[in-house]
Each structure stands twice: as structure tokens, then as C-alpha cells.
């Protein structure tokens, strides 16, 4: 069955018409082709062997069709996943405008992590939706990238927080902390470098 499954699965993936009707037409063609090829073999094959091969083909078709149904369901759900992450991103960004970051308590650092995490997941889900990946590829993408995004968001929010705990940053200087981070990230950009030369960020030791 393994050989039939691989062949049929690859052929279905290459079909222009992947609808249920298109898949059924391909399955019927595969059945007819197998029966014709088995009948042409000389010396003739036993009836038991022919039935065994036909059953193996049917098992492979059943498995491929089950996968196709799951993939179709996943394709319908992907826009909902993207919309969910988009709403979370909008809520998180809207919360930032409603209450600007002051870093006066730990919750502001959590808000900063969410501000990175949810938009990044929104971009990832949009990319997956547009590329029409298989369910296996989608699972692999989330397994690999979601932890990386999460760790990155935690690190970006934790590093300034550690500096704050060490006394380098004061709670009421949250905006200055962001300016320092922007300076470190974009200092190689000529226009931004000129801006920071004219408006130097405050030194952490002077905060």
C-alpha cells in the first residue's frame, strides 16, 4: 500500500482540479490503469494476487482521500486563524494607544512582549494561508516558528526589564528605554543616525 499511497498522494497534489469530483475522476482512472496493467502481464497473474493489488490500491485511495478531507477542512479554517491573530494584534496595539507604556510595573513588559508576539504570529498565519501548505507543513511551521517568535518576544521585553531591575532604567523613563533600543537597532541607518546625533538618547547612568 505504501507505494500506491505515495504515487496517488503525489499525483493528487499535482492535480489542477483538486475538488472531490476531480479526485474521484483520478481514482477511477487509477483503478482502470492498474486493472489493465495487471491483465497484460505475461505469464498471467493469479486472481488472488490481482485482488490483493486492487485492495492495496483501494486502501491507499481511502487514506489519500481522508488526508484530502482534512486538508480541505484546514484550508477553510486558516482564514479564521489569521483573523483571530489579527484581532489579537489589533487589541494589543489598541491597548498601547489607550494606555502608553510607562514600564511602571511588570504588566507593561508583558504588553511589550504581546506587541511583538501577536503581530508576528499574524504574519506567519497569513503566509501559511497564502502558500496553501499541507496540514503537515503547517504544523511543522508552527512547531518551529512559534517558539522562536515567543522566545524573541520574551527576550526583547526581558532585556530592558533586567536593566530596570538593575537600576539602570527608572519606571518613569520607559519612553527613554525605547529610544535607547531604537538607537541600538537602527544606528547604522544614516538618516536615523543623524537624528540621534542631533537628539542623543539619554545615558542609562544618568537616568
> Which residue reads 503566509 in cell numbers?
127
Q: What residue spans define the domains of the chain?
A: 2-166
All three cell numbers of 130, joined, read 497564502
Is the confidence at residue 194, as pLDDT, over 80?
A: no
Mean pLDDT for the stretch of residues 42-61: 88
Question: Which residues, at least 6 apart from 132, have a Cβ–Cβ distance to it below 8 Å?
Answer: 75
According to the model, what pLDDT value does residue 204 have? Answer: 44
According to the model, what pLDDT value does residue 197 have? Answer: 59
pLDDT in tens, 12-37: 888 887 788 888 999 999 999 988 88
pLDDT confidence tier of residue 171, bands split at 50, 70 and 90: very low
Note whether 56 and 4 are within 8 A (CB): yes
According to the model, what pLDDT value does residue 162 have? Answer: 57
According to the model, what pLDDT value does residue 87 have? Answer: 93
Note whether 4 and 26 are within 8 A (CB): no
Q: What is the DSSP letter of 206?
A: G
> Which residue reads 484581532 in cell numbers?
87
Q: Would you call 1 helix, strand, or coil by DSSP?
A: coil
Is the confidence at residue 172, as pLDDT, over 50?
A: no
Burial class (CB in 10 A: 0-12, 13-18, 19+), 95: middle
Mean pLDDT for the stretch of residues 161-183: 51
Note whether 145 and 153 are within 8 A (CB): no
Note whether 75 and 133 are within 8 A (CB): no
pLDDT confidence tier of residue 59, bands split at 50, 70 and 90: very high
* Residue among 69, 67, 68, 1 nearest 34 (CA): 1
Q: Is pLDDT larger for residue 58 or for residue 96?
A: 58
DSSP notation for 116-182: HHHHHHHHHHHHHHHHT--HHHHHHHHHHHHHHHHHHHHHHHHHHHHHHHTTSS-GGGHHHHHHHHH
pLDDT in tens, 118-163: 888 899 889 888 887 777 778 888 888 888 888 877 777 666 655 5
Mean pLDDT for the stretch of residues 95-104: 77
DSSP notation for 17-69: --SHHHHHHHHHHHHHHHHHHHHH-SSPPPHHHHHHHHHHHHHHHHHHHHHHH
Is the confidence at residue 201, as pLDDT, over 60?
A: no
CA distances from 98 to 23, 90, 151 (A): 52, 12, 26
Amino acid at each position: 500500500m505504501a507505494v500506491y499511497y505515495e504515487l496517488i498522494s503525489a499525483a493528487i497534489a499535482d492535480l489542477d482540479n483538486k475538488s472531490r469530483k476531480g479526485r474521484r475522476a483520478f481514482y477511477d482512472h487509477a483503478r482502470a490503469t492498474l486493472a489493465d496493467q495487471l491483465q497484460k502481464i505475461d505469464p498471467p497473474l493469479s486472481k488472488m494476487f490481482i485482488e490483493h493489488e486492487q485492495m492495496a490500491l483501494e486502501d491507499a485511495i481511502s487514506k489519500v482521500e481522508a488526508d484530502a478531507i482534512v486538508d480541505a477542512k484546514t484550508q477553510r479554517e486558516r482564514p479564521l486563524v489569521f483573523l483571530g491573530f489579527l484581532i489579537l494584534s489589533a487589541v494589543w496595539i489598541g491597548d498601547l494607544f489607550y494606555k502608553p507604556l510607562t514600564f511602571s510595573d511588570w504588566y507593561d513588559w508583558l504588553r511589550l512582549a504581546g506587541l511583538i508576539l501577536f503581530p508576528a504570529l499574524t504574519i506567519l498565519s497569513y503566509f501559511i494561508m497564502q502558500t496553501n501548505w499541507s496540514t503537515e507543513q503547517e504544523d511543522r511551521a508552527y512547531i518551529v516558528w512559534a517558539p522562536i517568535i515567543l522566545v524573541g518576544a520574551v527576550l526583547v521585553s526581558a532585556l530592558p526589564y533586567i536593566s530596570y531591575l538593575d537600576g539602570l532604567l527608572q519606571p518613569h523613563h520607559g519612553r527613554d528605554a525605547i529610544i535607547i533600543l531604537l538607537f541600538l537597532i537602527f544606528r547604522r541607518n544614516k538618516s536615523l543616525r543623524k537624528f540621534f546625533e542631533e537628539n542623543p538618547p539619554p545615558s542609562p547612568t544618568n537616568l
